[in-house]
Amino acid sequence: MGFSQAYGPADDDESLAVLHDALDTGITMIDTAMSYGRGHNERLVARAIAGRRDDVVLATKFGIVRDADGVRLDGRPENVRGYCDASLERLGVDTIDLYYLHRVDPEVPVTETIGAMGELVTAGKVRHLGVSEVNPAQLEQAVTVHPIAAVQFEWSLAWREPEDDVVPAARQLGVGLVPYSPLGRGLLTGALSAGPFPEGDFRRTDPRFAAQNLASNLNLVQTLTKLADEHGVTPGQLALAWLLAQGPDVVPIPGTRSRARLAENAAAADVQLSEQNLADLDLAVPRESWQGDRTSFAAHGTTRAR
Residue 116 resides in a domain: yes
pLDDT at 294: 64
Question: Distance of alpha carbon 45 from its chain centroid, rounded?
Answer: 16
Number of domains composing the chain: 2
In-domain check, residue 177: no
Same domain, 103 and 220: no
Based on the fold, state whether residues 143 and 222 are members of the same structural domain. Answer: no
What confidence score (pLDDT) does residue 305 get? 37
Position 102 in a domain: yes
Specify the DSSP class assigned to residue 161.
G
The CATH number assigned to the domain holding 114 equals 3.20.20.100
- Residue 154 belongs to some domain of the structure: no
Asked whether residue 101 is assigned to any structural domain, the reply reads: yes
The helix/strand/coil state of 108 is coil
Q: Do residue 241 and residue 110 come from a single domain?
A: no
Strands 57-62 and 29-31: parallel
Cα gap 210→291, rounded to integer Å:
9
Q: What is the pLDDT of residue 153?
A: 97
2 and 106, same structural domain? Answer: yes
Residue 166 lies in a domain: no
Check whether residue 51 and residue 96 sit in a common domain. Answer: yes
How far is the C-alpha of 179 from the C-alpha of 154, rounded, in Å? 5
Conformational region of residue 148, where left means phi above 0, alpha means psi within -120 to 50, and beta covers everything else: beta
Catalytic residues: 36
Query: Is residue 161, in this structure, part of any structural domain at all?
Result: no
CB 157 within 8 A of CB 239: yes
- Claim to verify: residue 267 and residue 140 sit in the same structural domain: no
Q: Write down how long the chain is.
A: 306
105 and 198 fall within a common domain:
no
Q: Please give the chain's pLDDT, 306 residues, in tens.
A: 889 887 777 899 999 999 999 999 999 999 999 999 999 999 999 999 999 999 999 999 999 999 888 899 999 999 999 999 999 999 999 999 999 999 999 999 999 999 999 999 999 999 999 999 999 999 999 999 999 999 999 999 999 999 999 999 999 999 999 999 999 988 999 887 766 666 667 676 777 777 788 888 889 999 999 999 999 999 999 999 999 999 999 999 999 988 999 999 999 999 999 999 999 999 999 999 988 776 544 543 443 334
- Same-domain status, 69 and 5: yes
The verdict on 142 and 278 lying in the same domain is no
Q: Under a CB-based contact definition with an 8 Å cutoff, are residues 265 and 237 in contact?
A: yes
4-7 long-range contacts (CB < 8 A, ≥24 apart) are 4/36, 4/37, 4/40, 4/41, 4/44, 5/36, 5/37, 5/41, 6/200, 6/201, 6/202, 6/304, 6/306, 7/200, 7/201, 7/202, 7/203, 7/257
Q: Which range of residues forms the domain containing residue 88?
A: 1-148
81 and 216 part of one domain: no
Q: Residues 191, 280: one domain?
A: yes
